[in-house]
């Protein structure tokens, strides 16, 4: 391949990315429209939130606990070198709340629920279920897509909070029960170091944004998939890859812009 070919290929690909981003923006607007305009499908929302909960609850709790325990162990062993093991609560709490909670929860939910959402919508495309709805004058954006996308935004902060709670519990178990730290010191170092706006609100904001990205990408990929079996698997894989990368990139910018000052 010559340099010119490579350049042409690069240009072609960038154009495709830009076109896709534009399409996705329009798709997001269509979701917003379907959300705001009646009919309001409260039942569909409850169903979707229930589904997302069932899919993600257990893995989020278990992973939170495991990550918290590792943090507790690593944190304790490191801090003890400086005689600063009393700050374990602060170290673990801040890293979970500000960074690990939102990001790891998002990655877990993407792998479990994002891929399932994309696969479900894509298979509805393949089997003409969405066209069937259209032919009955029912807008699939309203009945299928927007409940799925919005529930993801709604559920992510709750799952993230849960992840953080289980994480802190895990760290508490390792630090206090196994390593013999004083429970009062652990908890006071945790509570005195957390700032509401910077840490808690920032964390929830991240979770909301990640939920938006995960919901948007999963539904978009599913909805625009090719109506074939290969289309379903392509939609699923690319949902996981795209939304994970989007979350990680976005994480940097939210952190920078929200002004997490130390």
Q: Which stretch binds another protein (CB under 8 A): 107-115, 129-137, 155-163, 235-243?
A: 129-137
Site for another protein in 90-109 (CB under 8 A): none
Cβ proximity of 156 and 207 under 8 Å: yes
| 229 sits near another protein (criterion: CB under 8 A) | no
14, 77, 78, 127: residue in contact with another protein (rule CB under 8 A): 127
CA dist., res. 206 & res. 252, Å (int): 10
The DSSP secondary structure of 55-121, one letter per residue, reads HHHHHHHHHHHHHHHHHHHHHHHHHGGGT-GGGHHHHHHHHIIIIIHHHHHHHHHIIIIIHHHHHHH
74, 129, 224, 233: residue in contact with another protein (rule CB under 8 A): 129
| 49 sits near another protein (criterion: CB under 8 A) | no
Nearer to another protein, 100 or 121 (CB): 121
11, 134, 183, 230: residue in contact with another protein (rule CB under 8 A): 134
Nearer to another protein, 138 or 162 (CB): 138
Nearer to another protein, 51 or 244 (CB): 51
| 128 sits near another protein (criterion: CB under 8 A) | yes
| 228 sits near another protein (criterion: CB under 8 A) | no
**In the numeric block, which tokens belong to residue 116?**
């399932």
CA dist., res. 124 & res. 227, Å (int): 9
From the CB of residue 88, how many other CB atoms can be counted at a distance below 10 Å? 27
138, 165, 179, 254: residue in contact with another protein (rule CB under 8 A): 138
Work out how close the CB of 78 gets to another protein at its nearest, in angstroms, rounded to a whole number: 49
Work out how close the CB of 144 gets to another protein at its nearest, in angstroms, rounded to a whole number: 9
Nearer to another protein, 14 or 127 (CB): 127
Residue indicated by tokens 């992973």: 63
Enumerate residues 6+ apart whose C-beta is below 8 A from 95. Answer: 71
Cβ proximity of 78 and 102 under 8 Å: no
Q: At what angle do helices 101-109 and 146-172 cross, to 10 degrees?
A: 130
| 135 sits near another protein (criterion: CB under 8 A) | yes
Nearer to another protein, 9 or 131 (CB): 131
Q: Give residues in contact with another protein (CB under 8 A).
A: 39, 124, 127-129, 131-138
């Amino acid at each position: 391949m010559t340099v010119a070919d490579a350049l042409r290929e690069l240009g072609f690909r960038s154009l495709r990315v830009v076109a896709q981003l534009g399409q996705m923006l329009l798709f997001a607007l269509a979701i917003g429209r379907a959300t705001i305009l009646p009919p309001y499908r409260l039942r569909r929302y409850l169903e979707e939130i229930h589904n997302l909960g069932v899919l993600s609850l257990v893995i989020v709790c278990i992973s939170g606990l495991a990550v918290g325990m590792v943090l507790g162990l690593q944190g304790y062993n490191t801090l003890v070198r400086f005689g600063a093991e009393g700050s374990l609560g602060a170290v673990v709490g801040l890293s979970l709340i500000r960074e690990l909670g939102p990001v790891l929860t998002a990655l877990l939910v993407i792998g479990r629920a994002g891929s399932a959402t994309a696969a479900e919508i894509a298979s509805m495309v393949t089997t003409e279920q969405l066209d069937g709805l259209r032919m009955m004058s029912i807008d699939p954006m309203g009945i299928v897509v927007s409940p799925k996308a919005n529930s993801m935004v709604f559920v992510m902060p709750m799952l993230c909070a849960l992840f953080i709670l289980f994480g802190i519990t895990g760290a508490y178990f390792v630090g206090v029960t196994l390593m013999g730290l004083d429970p009062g010191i652990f908890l006071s170092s945790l509570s005195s170091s957390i700032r509401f706006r910077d840490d808690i609100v920032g964390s929830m904001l991240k979770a909301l944004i990640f939920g938006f990205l995960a919901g948007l990408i999963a539904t978009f990929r599913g909805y625009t998939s090719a109506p074939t079996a290969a289309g379903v698997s392509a939609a699923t894989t690319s949902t996981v890859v795209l939304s994970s990368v989007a979350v990680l990139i976005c994480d940097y910018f939210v952190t920078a812009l929200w002004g997490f000052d130390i």
